[in-house]
Every structure is written in C-alpha cells, then in structure tokens.
Amino acid sequence: MIITYLGAQFVKVSFGDTVLAFNPVSKDSKLSTSKFGADIVLSSLNHVDMNGVDQVSFGEKKAFAISGPGEYEVKGVFIKGLPSQSAYDGEKRINTIYMVSLEGMNICFLGGVNTTDLPPETDEAIDEVDILFVPIGGEGVLDAAQAYKLAVAIGPKIIIPIHYGEVGAKDALKAFLKEGGESPTPVAKLTLKKKDLEGKEAEVVVLERE
C-alpha cells in the first residue's frame, strides 16, 4: 500500500493496480487540486473541497463514487460508510466516516468530522484500526486538541493528520504534534505492508504534500 497526501483532505491510496481517492478537491474549489485516475473515490462531504469526482476519473479509469453511509464492496475492497456530523464552511452537514479493509489492513478516514462525540453505532463500528486519517485544522472540523483526543481513543497503529496547511488554523500541525509530544520527520509517501504495523501504537506519520 502506498499513501500519498495531496493537500486539504485529498488522499491517494494505491495497492497493486487499484487506486483509491479520498475527498478529492474539485476543480470548482478555490483550493489547489490534482488529477489522476482512480478506481474508487470516497467523498465524506458534499462540498467542492471534498467531492471532486471529476478530478479522479481520468484516462481509462472511471472512478466508482461513494458519497454516504452504507456498506460497499468494489474490486475486492470492503468499505463501510458511517454517519457523523461536520460544520465545515460554517454549515451543519452530514459527514461520512469511512472504514476500508484492504490487503489485511483497516483504514479509518474521519473526513470532516467536527466532534469527538460520535454516534453510538458509528463509534461501535470503528474497531481495530491500523491507519487513521484525522482532520486537525479546526474551523468546522476537529481542532488539534480534539483530533489528538479522538485519535488516541480510537487506538490505531498509525495516525496521519490531514486538513491543515491551506485549510484550517495556521499552526494546526504544530499544535497537533505538541499534543502528542512528537516531532516526526515528514515523509514524501508512506509505503506499508501489514508486517510493518507490528509493534506500532498511535505512531504519528506526517506526509509531505505532493
């Protein structure tokens, strides 16, 4: 599995010939975006900063779009969408948290969630997380302190902060790392196999924006 961070909440996950895109930035957004072909695109919020299906259907790849709660199986990838809430861009919205199982690993992508108090059924379904993507920028999503609190409560092996830089609070990443007393060296991409997760516990990985 290769994980690449494309800014805001836009994350690319590749394994073999299959490509997943999480919360791609639309061409209609004011945020900068990237274009590539994906097999599956998952959108947590119906907002131009996170629903850019147009950006990830490219060439021979036409992305299968998932944009809400439910259970899905696409190309051998098992996906569960779980309801939560967001106040992104100053408006109350339904946010979908995604649990994704592939290559024997479980990904949890929190999207634009803005509270550590998740609905009971959602909280119950988030279990045995290997890789957690957590928004940290505040301003309608979790802020740094809330993000760290929820991340530790979920108990993943690896925590990857997203939603900072050109979105959210100016010093969100610095504040998030301070919460955990960590100072990891940013990496360009994260390449993982299941065996790489052995012995890890809430390890923060900072990805450079591609």
Q: Per the domain annotation, does 34 fall within a domain? A: yes
Percent of the chain with pLDDT over 70: 100
Does pTM surpass 0.95?
yes
Give the model's pLDDT for residue 1: 97
Q: Per the domain annotation, does 210 fall within a domain? A: no
Nearest residue to 26 (alpha-carbon basis) of 50, 52, 53:
52
Q: Given a cut of 90, is residue 157 above it in pLDDT? A: yes
Give the model's pLDDT for residue 154: 98
> In whole angstroms, how far apart are CA 178 and each of 21, 183, 208?
29, 8, 18
Nearest residue to 189 (alpha-carbon basis) of 9, 8, 32, 13:
13
Q: Given a cut of 90, is residue 132 above it in pLDDT? A: yes
The mean of the pLDDT values for the chain is 96
Q: Per the domain annotation, does 98 fall within a domain? A: yes
Which domain does 192 fall in, by range?
Answer: 2-204
Question: Which tens digits make up the pLDDT trace of 35-64?
Answer: 999 999 999 999 999 999 999 988 888 899
Cβ neighbours of residue 66 closer than 8 Å, sequence gap 6 or more = 40, 41, 42, 43, 72, 74, 79, 81, 98
Q: Per the domain annotation, does 209 fall within a domain? A: no
Question: Which tens digits make up the pLDDT trace of 56-100?
Answer: 988 888 899 999 999 999 999 999 999 999 999 999 999 999 999
- Indicate which CATH number applies to the domain containing 85: 3.60.15.10
Cβ neighbours of residue 19 closer than 8 Å, sequence gap 6 or more = 12, 13, 36, 37, 38, 39, 40, 61
- Average pLDDT value for residue range 102-116: 97
Tally of domains in the chain: 1
Q: Given a cut of 90, is residue 165 above it in pLDDT? A: yes
Q: Given a cut of 90, is residue 137 above it in pLDDT? A: yes
Give the model's pLDDT for residue 31: 97
Q: Per the domain annotation, does 39 fall within a domain? A: yes
The pLDDT-based confidence of 176 (bands split at 50, 70, 90) is very high
Q: Per the domain annotation, does 169 fall within a domain? A: yes
